[in-house]
Amino acid sequence: MAGSQLQQDRHDATVLENEAGTRLDAFLAARFPLFSRNRIKDLILLGAVSVDGTTNDVPKYRVRTGESITLAAPEPVEAEPQPQDIALNILFEDEYLIVIDKPAGMVVHPAPGNEDGTLVNALIHHCGDSLRGIGGVKRPGIVHRLDKDTSGVMVAAKTEQAHNGLAAQFADHGRTGPLERAYIAFVWGIPNPLVGTVETMIGRDPNNRLKQSVQPREGREAITHYRVEGRFSDDKWSIAQVRCQLETGRTHQIRVHMAHIGHPLIGDGVYGSAFATKINTVPQEIRHTVVSLNRQALHAAILGFAHPVTGQTLKFESPLPSELAALATKLAPFAS
């Protein structure tokens, strides 16, 4: 990124005595609330911040009284992903944000192997210039995500202010606000107890970079609360419908946690592959429905949060998509 481009939007601040010792990224986020802390961190790493005239690319640097801090943010640029006319199921939209019901099979943002056809491509087409520069080039407007084969409710920001406010809520995990994220999952077996909490550390699996795993000494804190809402069984098999409430939002968290307690998600070929033989124990009509899913049986059913501008508490619900509703119907006669 050229230095001349960085100078197009300059912000200066001098560290006050009561601010000394604050991390550089936290100091800048507090002084310039137009930018989210994640955005500030990215700009620091890109060399867009200087301390007393010298570039400082260390987000955790502790600022000192009297230091002159300059943030030279680039002007908003067109996101690299191209707009694509992809239908969106919009649950809510205003000038600040958009809430959509994402179908299974849609990738949230471009990545190797999925360069287009993503939610980001659809949002750029739908929202146009309002997404310019919001939250970074590759993920404009995105403050959280769902796996490709997980369906359900998502929110995206349309302004820097909204992005900042939403990102703060997700980073706080709802501990001090109304953030609510509830998922419906269908898992092999019946969890015991029927209501519980899974609390572990989760990080990248050292043996498979495409997977996450529970790691006792490393990784990041992950907490999932669950409640069994339906039990279905016969002599040879059992399946549960489980409601999962996220307290944290780690990659693949519910999938990892359910597999960790011995109840992997139905249809999850990554974390439930060792249980593939179970499909042969269920009745033919259920077996056919499970095989035809071509996805893990996980749906983001509820998303609640405070509007980042108006402060209004918003809550959105999405019914089970047709393929999971069909599974629930096939299981119903076996309820116990």
pLDDT tens sequence across 226-275: 999 999 999 999 999 999 999 998 999 999 999 999 999 999 988 987 66
Q: Residues 124, 203: one domain? A: no
Q: Residues 159, 189: one domain? A: no
Tell me, what's the pLDDT at 1?
36
Q: Residues 166, 269: one domain? A: no
pLDDT at residue 286 tops 50: yes
Domain final residue, candidates 147, 172, 197: 172
Tell me, what's the pLDDT at 177?
76
Residue 79 in any domain: the answer is no
Are 63 and 71 in contact by the 8 Å Cβ rule? The answer is no
Tell me, what's the pLDDT at 3?
37
Residue 22 in any domain: the answer is yes
Q: Are strands 220-233 and 195-204 parallel, antiparallel or unpaired?
A: antiparallel
Residue 314 in any domain: the answer is no
- Contacts of residue 265, defined as CB under 8 A and 6 or more positions apart, other chains included, come to 185, 186, 187, 254, 255, 258, 259, 271, 272, 296, 297, 298
What is the average pLDDT value for the chain, to the nearest integer? 88
Q: Residues 62, 99: one domain? A: no
Q: Residues 61, 142: one domain? A: no
Please report, for residues 56, 98, 245, the alpha-carbon distance to residue 18 in angstroms, rounded to integers and kept in the order given.
21, 38, 39
Range of the domain at 30: 3-73
Q: 34 or 167, which is more confident?
A: 167
- 147 classed as catalytic: yes
Catalytic residue, from 25, 85, 116, 147: name it: 147
- Weakest-pLDDT range from 61-65, 85-89, 124-128, 255-259: 124-128
Tell me, what's the pLDDT at 76?
55
Residue 283 in any domain: the answer is yes
> 117: phi > 0 → left, psi -120 to 50 → alpha, else beta; which?
left
Task: For residues 212-228, give the mean pLDDT.
Answer: 92
Domain final residue, candidates 44, 73, 102: 73
Q: Residues 28, 125: one domain? A: no
Q: Residues 148, 191: one domain? A: no
- CATH code at position 102: 3.30.2350.10
How many domains in the chain? 3
Tell me, what's the pLDDT at 134?
65
Residue 323 in any domain: the answer is no
Q: Residues 103, 201: one domain? A: no
Residue 318 in any domain: the answer is no
Q: Residues 54, 141: one domain? A: no
pLDDT at residue 2 tops 50: no
Q: Residues 167, 186: one domain? A: no
Tell me, what's the pLDDT at 81?
78
pLDDT tens, residue by residue, 72-122: 887 655 447 788 999 999 999 999 999 999 999 999 987 766 778 999 999
**Preceding omega of 193 cis (within 30 degrees of 0):** yes
Q: Residues 94, 157: one domain? A: yes
Percent of the chain with pLDDT over 70: 91
Domain final residue, candidates 39, 73, 107: 73
Tell me, what's the pLDDT at 78?
47
User: What length does the chain have?
Assistant: 336
Residue 121 in any domain: the answer is yes
DSSP-derived letter for residue 332 is G
Tell me, what's the pLDDT at 140?
77
- CATH code at position 60: 3.10.290.10
Q: Residues 192, 118: one domain? A: no
The residues pairing with 245 across neighbouring beta strands, listed in sequence order, are: 182, 225
